[in-house]
Structure 1
Amino acid sequence: MSEDTASVPDEAPLTLYLLHALGASARSFDRLADRLAGHVRVVGIDLPGFGSEADATATDLTRTVAHVERVLAAHDGGPWLLGGHSMGGKVTALVASRVLRGEAALFGLAGVVLMAPSPPRPEPMDEERRERMLSWVADGPLSDEDAETFVAQNVAEPLDAEAHAVALDGLRRTSPAAWRAWLETGSTVDATAEVGLLDLPALVLAGEDDADLGAAAQPGLLAAVYPRARFVALPDTGHLIPLERDAEAAEAIARFVDEEVRVGPVVPDEWARLIAGDRVDDRVRGILARRALPDDRGYAPAALDLAQLTLLREIADLVVPQEGRAIDIAARVDAQLARGEGDGWRNADLPPDPEAYRAGLDTLAGVWATDPADRDRILRAAIEGESTAEGAFDAERMKAWLEDVRNDLVRQWLAHPASMARVGYDGFATGGSPMRGYVELRLGRREDWEPSGVGGTIATGDAA
């Protein structure tokens, strides 16, 4: 493969933005930030009506989502995660859905981290408890007595002095209007249709002693929303996870990041900013955001069986060799086959794509080798129409099928935004309103809006 026109960092910084619970603030994540320092940068965001934003008058979900997006727009580089505790979990789902649809002017979301999250659907809550909590702000801010009651009701064991003080500070600073807005409206809104399916890496932490949003309840509340969710139950833990179990939560987050988030190539910052900008249509931005998501390490093949997918991955390694963290392009081809998608045509001598893949892979498996050098020789011979494999495909049909295979594998690699950056393709940034284009199209010409690597010579990587 020729030298890159854009450098892609091997270990880009990763930021986790966290949205707090009802009656809390960004301070509730301070201990998590300390424990994850050097591995993941944790940034808490105060929501309207809470913490440093206690004076904000707009506290409904729509304005809260807009507030979070404004804060995220200042993101200073690298992929990022979004997370939420309790109330913040519902806001996280709404923001993430807008990012993956391209409606938010953001790019780089790599997964979500949720702690006892409120689901997109109405939150399960005892109505008598809801009314009691509303009565606490009938005459103004929460009293010290009511704040103490709230903390005691939401922990499995008493908090240490420092954590207890943080919890009380958040409750005392909470706007009564924001408290009422969540209990009366935010928690009761059914946003399942708006959120839809969020097929991205997701970590869900929940306490075993949390009644409504605990470990026993979360799979039923969220499995249909987050098909890739990793559910982690925390024993002897109530609802206030960041203050009760910061060490255990940090350990689970670090493991999740290493195993499910840092598994693919990183889109360079200049390119991420371009995709998030106003030159890119919402629909295109959403497509690129979904393509850039980390591949599922536990991907279960949908069109092929596991042996066929394994062989396709070995073929992919020969057709599109990748350095560093690789795209699982074989799995992406399998998903393409399962969706019934293709490039719009097929060789008349071949059956429909899913059937052709199964037949071709089963035929090739009969002569496939364990040694990479032998595999390369076998594949080259098959590409030239000289395969000695016996099965559903003779040598000529194997040659025709492998043309489609190579095309599919390369297309899936090139479709990833990180690959577009590597080859210097920015033709996706010609939309927006009004529609944008190029001033001059010629070799070596870079326009002001284009990333700095564009316009160089691919063979050398030198800028024009």
Structure 2
Amino acid sequence: MTEYTEHPEYTEHPEPAESGDRREPAVLLVHSALLDQRMWSATAAGLSGYRVITYDLRGHGSARQAAPTTGIAQLARDLDELTSILELDTADVVGVSLGGAVAQRFAADRPARVSSLALVATAVRFPAGTMTKRAQTLELQGRAAVRDTTLRRWFSADLLDDAGAEPVRYAREQLDRTTVEQWKAAWLALAAFDNTGAAAVADIPVLGIAGERDPSTPAEVVRELVAAYRQGTFTQLRDASHLIPLERPGPLAETLRSFLAAVHSPSPRLR
């Protein structure tokens, strides 16, 4: 495999994590804003039969040393560079929230490299005004207020009420490490994202997955996303809020396995 040292433009990024057989179809999992690739751990464990790859977006996780992102286009270029380093001809790309925006832009920029898209709790476009205002909240309201509001958007109330819930502890820890600059960059990137035009001409299978209890990206937003694509399919997971890979990793993995099996069937039902 090509070494990272041969790609100096990518030196700010850590090596990805991989599991599964490299001879199997590659599945790239792209995490959400302000978290890191660890949010996919339980879901990835349920995707046997595939080469599963996770990585940290610039400005996140072990790539926090990189400058905050300038936008979704930059994050998609990073993903393109990663696929080159890993010598991937094609991959199925799964993205949640911000990661779903990155996945869509990557598919628009490099359609030959994407076999399918699975888009979890995300949108084809985000409300620019809401995202722009949110970008200022950490600086204006303080960390405690912003952390509590964000966790309520991300998790179901019953999970938040469980003092020992590992997904909530992990997310809270990541929010506490987020700088003002990283916070602003994530929401401003979403404010500027609109993939409506590219979605209309995309010709790949697309699965939109909504959480039944998601107040951040409700089902109607994911339905709008699916309708924007020629081969879009919608599904909803019960008892799930926004961060489905953390809250309902088992059902999510099962849903992804079913979708990927159809994509890679000798007679694909989704083409």
Same-fold status (TM-score > 0.5): yes
2:127 counterpart of 1:117 = no
1:198 is matched with 202
Pairing 1:14–2:25 present: yes
Q: CA deviation at 1:110?
A: 1.4
Structure 1 runs not aligned, ≥5 long: 1-10, 265-294, 300-464
Separation (CA, whole Å) in 2 of partners of 1:116 and 1:184: 18
Query: How much has 1:138 moved relative to structure 2?
Result: 4.8
CA shift digits 1:400-436 (9 cap, x unpaired): xxxxxxxxxxxxxxxxxxxxxxxxxxxxxxxxxxxxx
Structure 1 partner of 2:55: 45
Deviation at 1:55, TM superposition (A): 2.2
- Does 1:252 pair with 2:255? yes
CA positional deviation for 1:26? 0.8
Tell me by how many angstroms 1:116 deviates. 0.5
Which of the residues 54, 59, 84 maps onto 2:69? 59
Letter in 2 for 1:208: E
Matched residue, 2:40:
29
Query: Which aligned pairs between 1:31-430 and structure 2 lie closer than 5 A?
Result: 31-36=42-47, 38-61=48-71, 62-76=73-87, 79-100=90-111, 107=113, 109-119=114-124, 121=125, 123-124=126-127, 127=130, 131=133, 134-138=136-140, 143=143, 146-156=146-156, 157-158=158-159, 161-194=165-198, 196-224=200-228, 226-259=229-262, 261-264=263-266, 296-297=268-269
How far apart, in 2, do the equivalents of 1:12 and 1:163 lie?
Answer: 32
Offset at 1:194?
A: 4.7
SS at match of 1:151: helix
Are the aligned partners of 1:155 and 1:244 in contact in 2 as well (CA < 8 Å)?
Answer: yes
Residue in 1 aligned with 2:14?
none
Higher relative contact order (CA 8 A, sep 6+): 2
Counterpart of 1:372 in structure 2 is none
| Partner of residue 343, structure 1 | none
TM-score by length of 2: 0.79
Q: 1:29 to 1:298 in 2, by over 3 A?
A: closer
Question: What 5-or-longer segments of structure 2 have no aligned partner?
Answer: 1-21
Shift of 1:206: 0.8
Change (3 A) 1:262 1:183: same
CA shift, 1:167, in A, is 1.4
In the alignment, is the contact (CA less than 8 A) between 1:48 and 1:54 conserved in 2?
A: yes
In 1, Cα distance between the equivalents of 2:270 and 2:256? 18
- Percentage identity across paired residues of the two chains: 26
Deviation, structure 1 residue 241: 0.6
Q: Is the 8 A contact 2:46 2:250 kept in 1?
A: yes
Q: Which has the greater radius of gyration?
A: 1
Whether the 8 Å contact between 2:155 and 2:247 is mirrored in structure 1 is yes
* AA at the equivalent of 1:118: A
What is the Cα deviation at residue 34 of structure 1?
A: 1.5
> Any conservation in 1 of the 2:134–2:187 contact (CA below 8 Å)?
no
- Give the partner amino acid of 2:237: L
Q: Which runs of 4+ in 1 moved over 4 A?
A: 76-79
Q: Following the alignment from structure 2 to structure 1, what is the Cα–Cα distance between the partners of residues 261 and 268? A: 13
1:112 alignment partner AA: L
Residue deviations 1:210-245, cap 9 Å, x none?
134222321223312x22122110122111111011
Q: TM-score, normalised by structure 1?
A: 0.48
Task: Kindly tell me the number of residue pairs found equivalent between the two proteins.
Answer: 245
- Distance in 1, Cα, partners of 2:34 & 2:201: 28
* RMSD over equivalenced CA pairs, Å: 2.7
1:73-122 CA distance string (max 9 Å, x none) = 1225575211211011111111011112x6xxxx4x31111110132x3x
Shift of 1:195: 5.1
Tell me by how many angstroms 1:130 deviates: 5.8
In the aligned structure 1, how far is the partner of 2:216 from the partner of 2:84?
33
